[in-house]
Amino acid sequence: MEEAAALYEIFQQCTAVSTDSRQPQDNTLFFALNGPTFRGRDFAPQALAQGARHAVVDDAALAATDPARYTYAPDALVALQQLANYHRRQLIIPIIGITGSNGKTTTKELIYAVLSQRYRVQYTQGNLNNHIGVPLTLLSIRRGEHEMAIVEMGANHQGEIALLSHLAEPTHGLITNIGKAHLEGFGGVAGIAKGKSELFRFLAKVGGTAFVNTADPLLPGLSAQVEHRVTYPNPTDTYPAKLLSAAPQVMLRLFDGTQVAAQITGGYNFLNLAAAAAVGAYFQVPAADIATALAGYAPTNNRSQLVRTARNEVVLDAYNANPSSMAAAVASFAARPTPAAEKVVILGDMFELGEESAAEHRALGELLAAQHFGTVLLCGSDMRHAAAAHPAAHYFATKVELTAWLQAQPLSHRQILVKGSRGMGLETVLSLI
Ligand SMILES: CC(=O)N[C@H]1[C@@H](OP(=O)(O)OP(=O)(O)OC[C@H]2O[C@@H](n3ccc(=O)[nH]c3=O)[C@H](O)[C@@H]2O)O[C@H](CO)[C@@H](O)[C@@H]1O[C@H](C)C(=O)N[C@@H](C)C(=O)N[C@H](CCC(=O)N[C@@H](CCC[C@@H](N)C(=O)O)C(=O)O)C(=O)O
Ligand SMILES: Nc1ncnc2c1ncn2[C@@H]1O[C@H](COP(=O)(O)OP(=O)(O)OP(=O)(O)O)[C@@H](O)[C@H]1O
Ligand SMILES: C[C@@H](N)C(=O)N[C@H](C)C(=O)O
């Protein structure tokens, strides 16, 4: 803690923290992190030359060359995390931690939209949600300026959410849902439930407040230990909400009867919208402002985006994929009123499923076969298991083959769902449809 206190003195004279010499360094405090490709300390002199005020390096000899501008730390990442926690402890504001298998970023953005109607709010930028991203988010909260903060916490194995909770020390927390994402690292759904509920365990320990999605089969039980609970969206909950339609944009009714026509597609997003409404209502944002914020939010970055191309209407949901979000996306797409024969699905491999991968892809194939979509295009090596369960589907081992097929048989006047894991980058097919 002494080291963190000393570093905090320096941090307070800086405009921001930085970790990348390729970004502008304007009076920053540079942390020289190590990664799979680079050793951060190799870039520390450059960062200082470019305007950084001070650098934290794991190289005692380098630090000794200019003690006024370098601080030595055996592990710069640990120093970053400790500084972030030290800073957090200076903040007397509500900090809302968000985790869950699916919808964290969307829910975080929606909650920001709602809370910023009334408060000055800092929130996780993009997807900076891991052991590096969470400290960076915490250190971006300005004392005396921000009135609350929303911190997204991501994980792909046990213990990560506990670590992030101890860094962020949230006063409030929300788990969007428990689903089959990152099965490989968590070790099955029971492992995911255990890993994600590390946030609720932290809240139980510190007397915090949990926002509980009672539509999820596991979350009510997992939150039982938290004394202060705010529930949504069921009728007897603190803040009920009702899904009115999703054809394709979501329309919902809020706890006070207000109807909201959201710009976001996919019935599953109802729960993300309801979560944001519950958090807003709890923090006393007027219902009319909640409705305005929810209606104003438009997703980006290939998440549940509705795109009208010159020839087709596309649900571009290619940001990521796992068995739960794939099933939700397929169900939502199938529920659209257009005849199934006019619908096309283009799906790519789901990653990080470990030994469950073949069975989960096969189950997806069975699900697709039951929908009778007009055209099913499956791409990636794991999708061969889905294709085996759905012989009418077209199978492509690579995106090159999928691209050739789409070029040879241009699709027109179709509704098309595009989804796959990040590594598949399926959004590149958009220019072909
Ligand atoms: C360490 C780091 O920040 N790396 C970023 C960097 O990587 P790079 O390609 O440069 O290689 P290195 O990591 O080896 O570099 C080491 C350091 O050297 C710096 N450096 C390098 C070259 C140079 O010329 N000058 C330099 O200063 C460099 O900046 C490093 O500090 O750049 C990449 C491109 O911008 C970044 O992608 C990379 O970021 C890493 C991956 C990272 O973790 N960033 C966090 C801030 C973050 O939050 N990233 C999120 C993604 C989070 C995520 O995946 N979440 C998962 C769940 C969490 C799983 C967790 N266990 C995990 O493994 O992360 C989820 O499902 O949501 C994001 O970027 O969106
Ligand atoms: N409530 C939900 N239930 C099921 N799937 C969802 C839900 N919300 C979002 N999704 C799916 O997850 C995709 C990614 O959304 P989002 O980025 O908000 O999730 P995330 O949990 O933050 O993912 P990541 O951690 O990888 O960024 C969406 O495009 C959609 O397909
Ligand atoms: C992009 C990353 N946060 C993620 O969700 N990864 C899974 C494996 C995916 O891309 O589907």
Q: What is the ipTM, given to two decimal places? A: 0.98
With cut-offs at 50, 70 and 90, classify the pLDDT of residue 146. Answer: very high
Residue 238 has φ and ψ, to the nearest 5°, of -60, -50
> Is residue 83 domain-resident?
no
Kindly state whether residues 222 and 100 are assigned to the same domain.
Answer: yes
- The residue from 45, 76, 107 where one domain ends is 76
Which of helix, strand or coil describes residue 322? coil
Question: Which pLDDT does position 2 carry in this prediction?
Answer: 79
Shortest-distance ligand to the CA of residue 100 = 2
Kindly state whether residues 272 and 126 are assigned to the same domain.
Answer: yes
Kindly state whether residues 131 and 56 are assigned to the same domain.
Answer: no
Beta carbons of 151 and 170 less than 8 angstroms apart? yes
- The residue from 296, 331, 364 where one domain ends is 296
Kindly state whether residues 266 and 321 are assigned to the same domain.
Answer: no
Shortest-distance ligand to the CA of residue 179 = 2
CB of residue 320 inside a 6 A radius of ligand 2:
yes
With cut-offs at 50, 70 and 90, classify the pLDDT of residue 247. Answer: confident
CB neighbours (10 Å) of residue 278? 28
Whether the bond into 67 is cis, omega within 30 of 0: no
> Is residue 85 domain-resident?
no
Kindly state whether residues 268 and 331 are assigned to the same domain.
Answer: no
Residue 39 belongs to domain spanning = 2-76
Kindly state whether residues 277 and 149 are assigned to the same domain.
Answer: yes
Question: Which pLDDT does position 37 carry in this prediction?
Answer: 98
Average pLDDT over residues 14-33: 97
> Is residue 145 domain-resident?
yes
Of all helices (H) and strands (E), which one includes residue 418?
Answer: strand 415-419
> Is residue 403 domain-resident?
yes
Domain of 47, CATH number, reads: 3.40.1390.10
Residue 190 has φ and ψ, to the nearest 5°, of -60, -40
Q: Taking 90 as the threshold, does the pLDDT of residue 176 lie above it?
A: yes
Single-letter amino acid, residue 414: R
The count of domains in the chain is 3
Average pLDDT over residues 186-195: 94
> Is residue 81 domain-resident?
no
Burial readout 18-43 (b: 16 or more C-beta within 10 A, e: otherwise) = bbebeeebeebbbbbbeeeeeebbeb
Average pLDDT over residues 51-62: 98
Kindly state whether residues 254 and 341 are assigned to the same domain.
Answer: no
* Nearest alpha carbon to residue 147 among 93, 106, 75, 86: 93
Chain segment 79-132, per-residue pLDDT in tens: 999 999 999 999 999 999 999 999 999 999 999 999 999 999 999 999 999 999
Average pLDDT over residues 131-148: 98
Question: Which pLDDT does position 310 carry in this prediction?
Answer: 97
CB of residue 325 inside a 6 A radius of ligand 3:
no
Beta carbons of 147 and 92 less than 8 angstroms apart? no
Kindly state whether residues 59 and 8 are assigned to the same domain.
Answer: yes
Shortest-distance ligand to the CA of residue 420 = 3
> Is residue 333 domain-resident?
yes
Two structure tokens written together for 96: 């809302």
Question: Which pLDDT does position 419 carry in this prediction?
Answer: 98
- Report the C-alpha gap between 348 and 223 in whole angstroms: 34
- Burial grade of 72 (CB within 10 A; 0-12, 13-18, 19 or more): middle
Kindly state whether residues 39 and 184 are assigned to the same domain.
Answer: no
Average pLDDT over residues 307-311: 96
Chain segment 312-337, per-residue pLDDT in tens: 999 999 999 999 999 999 999 999 99
- Report the C-alpha gap between 91 and 201 in whole angstroms: 22
Integer CA distances (angstroms), 192 to 6, 154, 276, in order:
38, 12, 23
76: Cα within 13 Å, side-chain hemisphere:
25
Domain of 282, CATH number, reads: 3.40.1190.10
For the chain, what is the mean pLDDT? 97
Domain of 327, CATH number, reads: 3.90.190.20
Site to substitute for ligand 3 among 352, 353, 357, most atoms within 8 A of C-beta? 352
Q: Taking 80 as the threshold, does the pLDDT of residue 1 lie above it?
A: no
Of all helices (H) and strands (E), which one includes residue 199?
Answer: helix 198-206
**CA 162 to ligand 1 centroid distance, Å:** 20
With cut-offs at 50, 70 and 90, classify the pLDDT of residue 355. Answer: very high
Burial readout 371-381 (b: 16 or more C-beta within 10 A, e: otherwise) = eebebbbbbbe
Q: Taking 90 as the threshold, does the pLDDT of residue 394 lie above it?
A: yes
Cβ-proximal residues to 77 (8 Å cutoff; 6+ apart), any chain: 31, 33, 34, 131, 132
CB of residue 423 inside a 6 A radius of ligand 1:
no
**CA 249 to ligand 3 centroid distance, Å:** 24
Two structure tokens written together for 222: 């997992």
> Is residue 82 domain-resident?
no
100 is in an annotated binding site: yes
Predicted TM-score of the model (pTM)? 0.97
CB of residue 422 inside a 6 A radius of ligand 3:
yes
DSSP string for 126-193: TT--STTHHHHHHHTPPTTT-SEEEEE---SSTTHHHHHHHHH--SEEEE----SSSHHHHTHHHHHH
Q: Which atom of ligand 3 is nearest to the CA of 322?
A: 11
Question: Which pLDDT does position 248 carry in this prediction?
Answer: 86
Beta bridge pairs of residue 394: 377
Q: Taking 90 as the threshold, does the pLDDT of residue 409 lie above it?
A: yes
- The residue from 296, 316, 340 where one domain ends is 296
Query: For the chain, what percent of residues have pLDDT higher than 90?
Result: 97
Kindly state whether residues 127 and 230 are assigned to the same domain.
Answer: yes
Kindly state whether residues 69 and 110 are assigned to the same domain.
Answer: no
Kindly state whether residues 250 and 339 are assigned to the same domain.
Answer: no
Question: Which pLDDT does position 300 carry in this prediction?
Answer: 84
Beta bridge pairs of residue 149: 95, 122
> Is residue 186 domain-resident?
yes
Q: At what angle do helices 160-168 and 76-88 cross, to 10 degrees?
A: 50
